[in-house]
Structure 1
Amino acid sequence: MFDIAVIGLGLVGSAALRHLALSDASVVGIGPGEPTDWSVNSGPFASHYDSGRVTRRLDARYEWAELASRSIAQYPEIEAQSGLRFHRPVGFLFVRKDPIGIAQQQHVSERLDLPVVTTTTDAVRDEFQDYELPLQWTALYEPSPAGHIDPRLMVEAQLKV
């Protein structure tokens, strides 16, 4: 008998299970693992079966930025405990034209003291010639620990620790 059962072992379920396992409660996770042979899989296709997700703190909404900050701060510990590297802290470039949205993102980044650099797409194009960006838009750059994760490895890491 278990005190708590977590139904679903994807990104949310694996994180919930990891946190609950730190409590005094006895917990169990219920859900299918990732298929080993896709050619014969007739089960559900999970939303995390890709291998790349952007991870960043920069957001127009304070609540999302704060939650992302807390989550990203845990990545190094999860990687160290599991021995799996799922996070690539390569930075994040956000490009937009909307001045209201830009102002909201800048306000949130200042409130959370995020090291976001605001520049123009013209300047980004000068530095990164391979990028095809619209002229005279605003570019917001958030350095590491922003980057991307491999959600499949992240689920595996969370279930391992």
Structure 2
Amino acid sequence: MQAIEFQQKAAVLGTKAAKAENLPTLALTGGYVAADIPKLLTITNAVNAGVGIQYNLANLWKSNAVLKQSKARETQLAASQALLVDDIRLSVNEDYQKAFVAKRKIEVYEKALTQAAENYRITKNKFDNSLVTITDLLDANVALLSTRINVLNARADAALAYRKLLQTTGILYQ
């Protein structure tokens, strides 16, 4: 954003410079002469000064291509800045949505963890009463462990998504 702003300032100065080409120029001149030409002329301590004004008459009927290029550059930079702002908003919105989804995933996996823990408890009680086999108990245990891992992964993903959101918004610097 800052680079585009500096480029816009440079383009505005370029436009001003191009407009200045259509204005007349003023020149101040001055000089000092001491000349000794034998048998012809001797001048000592001669000072001359002058003021001159110049205007290019061709600027009256010519279109100023530099001015048009400079204005086109300004327009191009304004469009680039608008595009960059849109990209930033899109990135921030996308990262916000990812953080929101990651938070919701945690909630879903925590509910699944509660259900898996309850399933394991019931299966363990049944195993203690010899109503299910060891395979069923191990399956319930694997499901509980898998759900715990899913909860931890969801929390890690949420932390990563939140940090990415902070980085995108410019709050977190690398």
Question: Under a length normalisation based on structure 2, what TM-score does the superposition of the two structures give?
Answer: 0.20
Q: RCO greater where, 1 or 2, for CA within 8 Å and sep 6 or more?
A: 1
Please report the TM-score for the alignment, with normalisation by the length of structure 1.
0.21
